[in-house]
Amino acid sequence: MAEWIRETTGGRLYPAAMPPDDVAGLRKQADSWLQGRPGRRLQPDDWDRVPAVIRRSMAQIARECIGEGARPVRVLLFDKTPDSNWSVAWHQDRVVAVRERAEVPGFGPWSIKDGVPHVEPPVAVLEGVATLRLHLDDCGADNAPLKVALGSHRLGLVPADRAAAVAEALPVEVCEAGAGDIWAYSTLVLHASERSRAHGHRRVLHVDFAAADLPEPLRWLDYVKE
């Protein structure tokens, strides 16, 4: 487990991490990608269209979290609006995106999401993954900020039917943010969110970073051209 994950409660805020003009530009790009949908899995070519300063800055934060080899391996975009609103129960993110399916002991079950193979890896792999969430809009208490159960990332894999009880027994942080803020999390932290009560957008760029390679022949779905 990366040192920053051991030493933190599972999340860390990087306030005003991105220049306002670049965040505004990415908001416009996000709308063209989403076209009114609540979310989309971005492909490597999409990542290249994110402003370079944002890609570089997120990678630098990831390196601070998990080491010099940190690279983006999964990119998601979300937007909660009055017309597209939802809540998410307590859970852990347990799957990773890979280039091709290959049967390796300890990896499974498998699924296909937007044409990309996804798999649940051993917990040791997930312990080395950091999730960065760049907020493209202000996210106050009424705009469905993420809630995280502090310290839950140290508990390994928590059974889905136990997630709520485990989270409710721990201190909970409500991760409010301003546009341009980044929250960095251990991917294993238990988290949840409510339906938004705001009247605007809640756009978030969610990027998973990994530093270690997967066991051969598995390979991450790398977003950086080799």
Rounded CA gap, 210 and 70, in Å? 5
pTM exceeds 0.85: yes
CA dihedral 32, 148, 207, 181 (to 10 degrees): 70
Average pLDDT score, the chain: 94
**What is residue 9's predicted lDDT score, i.e. its pLDDT?**
85
pLDDT digits (tens, 9 = 90+) for 86-114: 999 999 999 999 999 999 999 999 999 98
Task: Decide if 206 contacts 56 (C-beta within 8 A).
Answer: no
In this predicted structure, the answer to whether residue 60 has a pLDDT above a threshold of 90 is: yes
Q: What is the mean pLDDT of residues 11-38?
A: 96
pLDDT digits (tens, 9 = 90+) for 117-126: 999 999 999 9
Tokens at 53, concatenated: 């300063």
**What is residue 224's predicted lDDT score, i.e. its pLDDT?**
82
In this predicted structure, the answer to whether residue 2 has a pLDDT above a threshold of 60 is: no
Q: CA nearest 132: which of 7, 5, 12? A: 12
Rounded CA gap, 42 and 76, in Å? 6
